[in-house]
Structure 1
Amino acid sequence: MSLNSVFEGARSAARSLGLITAEKVSSVLNELAHELLVNQEFMITENQKDLGRMNVDDPKYDRLKLSASRLEDIASDLRSVSQLNSPVGGVLSERELPNGLQLKRVRVPLGVVGVIYEARPNVTIDVFSLCFKTGNVAVLKGGSDASFSNEALISIIHGVLEANNIDKNVVVLLPPDRSATEALLNAVNYIDVIIPRGSQHLITYVRDNAKVPVIETGAGIVHTFVDASADLEKSKAIILNAKTRRVSVCNSLDCLLVHKQTINNLAFLVEDLRSSNVVIYADEEAFKQLKGNYPDHLLLPASDEHFGIEFLDYKLAIKTVSDLGEALDHIATYSSKHSEAILSEDEANIDAFLTQVDAAAVYANASTGFTDGGQFGLGAEIGISTQKLHARGPMGLEELTSYKWIVKGNGQVRA
């Protein structure tokens, strides 16, 4: 079957989604959650085939890995999405014009959503659940690294759909080869929007080559600024969590900015990172503070190349700044506009940081690890948008909708 035939099947299936009741949608998602757990052993076996082809030291290995606990989390997210109300059909505004025309603006699905992603099999379920809940068709292009995992997940989804007499083309998995990516990027008459999830290289490639509209979910180059007034115990725990909870995710900490009045406390702030063997690239002042107080084999001088990089690994850059202004300047220069944080007890500085930092999620005295659709109460996410048009931050159900105008009249004609 040609890919155009696949795209045509997806476009056709989009019309049938509007006929499925909200109760049926929720029931299908709950049934899928059940089937994932029933087929847990099968899923882990297929996932192991993918893991066996990847170096365990590859930062993507952790993202690729499925386990019993992760499948439980995926099933839990499915149940959460099933309980949410779909925004489709919601009235955004309505009014009557002087000529008697009645205007109403209502939410509608985006249509056929293409998602290109790398070694993240959980995305297969997240995207399907959110698209299905909002009446969108999902056309998925996973990477070859996760081909066995993605195919296994799709087979389970299709089994549930067919058991419920629903067109299985409401979710399509394209072949993992590059030609499928090219076809998707050029599927102007079939795909309404493409959302890439993955490395900056992938996102840039999609943006530069797609003829279909793109919503960017950017890489996370994440900073945390330790202000002069920061609570040290609180900051220490936040830094550890933001850096080491899961280093392979886009909301993990990449660069620690430390006020020069707090630099004497740097060894205390980062001492717990040594247990995770975090390599620190420290600027001159930070290096002086850590020399002898942090393992020599984990402490290296920082160069310009260590700032503005998404490590996705047990690595951290540290830069000393003279004040809030310098911290803001550094973030403005190197940020990917994903997640940024300030640790401070100075309300004026907190307010200035939250107001002036241009990012999808801006934190005060909390770990950037919370930038996640599930944590934000969205059930799951289709990605974290770092652009400003249409959607920004974790994208859930509402972000998978557009709107249309409903106009009702009684014979009005325009002069």
Structure 2
Amino acid sequence: MNTLVSPVSADAVIPARGAIGDVAAVVERLAREGRAAQRELARMTSEARASALRFAAEALRDAAPIILEANAQDVADGVAAGLSSAMVDRLKLDSARIEAIAATVAQVASLDDPVGQVMDETHRPNGMTLRRVRVPIGLIGIIYESRPNVTADAAALCVRSGNAALLRGGSEAVRSNSAIHSALVAGLVAGGVPAAAVQLMPTQDRAAVGAMLAAAGLIDMIVPRGGKSLVARVQADARVPVLAHLDGINHTFVDRAADPAMARDIALNAKMRRTGVCGAMETLLVDALFPDPQGLVAPLLDAGCELRGDARACAIDFRIAPADADDWDTEYLDAVLSVAVVDGLDGALSHIATHASGHTDAIVTDDSDAAARFLSEVDSAIVMHNASSQFADGGEFGLGAEIGIATGRLHARGPVALEGLTTYKWLVLGSGQVRP
């Protein structure tokens, strides 16, 4: 596989800045090329697409030194620019993370292909047979920030499900994204996939985002992955259907009937395993009748987490600072946590209904009735019982990877993987029927 990726320097993989002509025209050209490539991709067999992804996984492994060199420059620039520790953590790659990226691409190749799946079949009294069959959506635009692994994850999911991808990563990861994209495409092409099936926007000009959002009829769906301002802009300006991934203002409610040791372990993991991921807990809700609130908050404080609480939470431990009104609606993505003491399940449900973002919310309890009510009444994409919110991840759900966690209510919800990147069409099989 070493012949798939040329040994170029990290600087050589920086996308061109400026001097690419009219940005809207560039986006239109890329979209048309992507649509043509998608038609070729859709004609490939499922095994051929899977095989190409396995080539791509090996190409990523072979290109690890180039990717690491590119990433080191991005990280250095990010630190110099004052990126937060959480943003730097999202951006930084090492050998283990590159191996995980490659392994994810290979895993996606092994997943069942949803394309062509018969969703249901009915037989009409007039003798016609009707089938609903899964088909690719088409050309999917992915606009994302910080995490270079999204370049590979999104591309792999799109290719496996017969979709083409037009990627627009953030400027903070420009070298990393380009290095990953170059290796990935080299592997895909070696496996017979047209190069234009996975394209990376060749400019960081913000006008490119606007052009993608306006490309109705060329781009079939936009998936934004990033901060609140990015997603808000995409939703406000898009003329293309959007599959939105909003804030992860995730709650863990520790019920009065929770096992104290389990509650402690879940809360610590939900916040501190990785603070910069969208599944991290941002608010801890503690039942006023929970027997050991000190044992719940002390491990978090001892681990270096800053806690901001309401008056009753502040009374638990002198190290908890008073929260302000904005804290309950903040996705910290850092070692900061809001804590509120609530009056039982009703208090928790009321707080979540007011402040949750619809991403992931969890209850810790041994009371099956309380758990059942929480699972039923919390209207989030992912609702958990006795588990850490850090499991809010497509890989952990057995989906291989995810293109994002959709927090809306239409088309797809929760981790969006292969099935979420398909739509369906009706096949009507007749034998000469005419309608009276």
Which range moved further: 312-321 or 299-308? 299-308
In the TM superposition, residue 62 of structure 1 has moved relative to its aligned partner by: 0.8
* Match for residue 236 of structure 1 among 253, 264, 270: 264
Asked whether 1:216 is paired with 2:244, we answer yes
Q: Which amino acid aligns with 1:134?
A: S
Q: Give the 3-state SS of the residue equivalent to 2:224 in structure 1.
A: strand
Which residue is 2:90 aligned to?
Answer: 63
- Opposite residue 275 of structure 2, the aligned amino acid is V
Query: Within 1, Cα distance between the matches of 2:249 and 2:391?
Result: 15
Q: Deviations over 1:88-131 (max 9, x none)?
A: 00101112222222211100001111111001111111111111
**1:352 corresponds to 2:367:** no
Aligned-residue offset at 1:59: 2.2
2:15 paired residue number:
none
The one-letter code sitting in structure 1 at the alignment partner of 2:69 is: T
Partner of 1:107: 134
Give the distance between the partners of 1:321 and 1:29, measured in 2 at CA: 49
Who is 2:340 aligned against? 319
Whole-Å separation in 2 of the counterparts to 1:192 and 1:57: 34
Matched-pair contact (CA < 8 Å) for 2:251–2:283: yes
Q: Residues of 2 paired with 1:3 and 1:243: CA distance?
A: 40
- Give the Cα separation in 1 of the matches to 2:344 and 2:121: 49
Aligned amino acid, residue 132 of structure 1:
V
- Output the TM-score relative to the length of structure 2: 0.91
What secondary structure, in the 3-state scheme, does the structure 2 residue paired with 1:369 have?
A: helix
1:184 paired with 2:205, answer no
What one-letter code is carried by the residue in structure 2 that aligns with 1:203? V
C-alpha separation in 2, matches of 1:157 and 1:350: 44
Aligned residues: 408
Task: For 2:383 and 2:102, locate their aligned partners in 1 and report how far apart those are by CA, in whole Å.
Answer: 29
Question: What pairs with 1:154-169 in structure 2 (closer than 5 Å)?
Answer: 154-169=181-196
Distance 1:187 1:207, change over 3 A: same
- Residue deviations 1:289-313 (CA, integer Å, cap 9, x gap): 201xxxx4xx311121111211101
- SS of equivalent to 2:120: strand
CA gap of 1:325–1:28, structure 2 versus 1, over 3 A, is same
Extract unaligned runs of 5+ from structure 2.
1-19, 21-25
Q: 1:12-411 to 2 correspondence within 5 Å?
A: 12-55=36-79, 57-174=84-201, 175-262=203-290, 265-291=292-318, 296=319, 299-411=320-432
- C-alpha contact (below 8 Å) 1:192/1:212 kept by paired residues: yes
Q: CA RMSD in A?
A: 1.3
Give the SS at the match of 2:281: coil
Percent identity over the alignment is 42
Equivalent position amino acid for 1:316 in 2: L
SS at match of 2:78: coil
SS of structure 1 residue aligned to 2:101: helix
Offset, 1:164: 3.1
Deviations 1:72-92 (A, max 9, x none): 111221121111110100101
Q: Which amino acid aligns with 2:30?
A: V
Cα distance, 1:139 vs structure 2: 0.7
Conserved? CA contact 1:232–1:269, under 8 Å: yes
Scaled by the length of structure 1, the TM-score of the pair is 0.96
Tell me how far 1:204 sits from its aligned partner.
1.1
Q: Give, in whole Å, the separation in 2 of the partners of 1:220 and 1:344.
A: 22
Deviations 1:46-69 (A, max 9, x none): 011111111363421111111111
The answer to whether the 8 A contact 2:49-2:193 is kept is no
SS of the residue 1:312 aligns to? coil
Structure 1 residue identity aligned to 2:258: A
Deviates more, 1:335-344 or 1:175-184: 175-184
- On the 8 A contact 1:117/1:142 being kept in 2, the answer is yes
Give the whole-Å Cα distance in 2 for the aligned partners of 1:117 and 1:97: 46
Q: CA deviation at 1:217?
A: 1.2
Instruction: Give distance in 2, aligned partners of 1:251 and 1:164.
Output: 34
Superposition misfits of 4+ residues, deviation over 3 angstroms? none
- Residues 51 and 65, structure 1, Cα contact 8 Å, conserved in 2: yes
> Is the 8 Å Cα contact of residues 242 and 369 (structure 1) preserved in structure 2?
yes
Give the Å deviation of 1:274: 3.0
The alignment partner of 1:11 has SS state of helix
Please tell me the residue identity of whatever aligns with 1:358.
Answer: D
Cα distance in 1, alignment partners of residues 340 and 98 from structure 2: 39
Q: What is the CA deviation profile of residues 148-196 of structure 1, one whole-angstrom value per residue up to 9, with x for unaligned ones?
A: 0111111112212332343100001112221110110011121111111
Q: Is the Cα contact below 8 Å between 1:266 and 1:290 reproduced in 2?
A: no
Larger CA deviation: 401-410 vs 374-383: 401-410
Which residue identity lines up with residue 192 of structure 1 in the other structure? D
Distance 1:3 1:260 in 2: 55
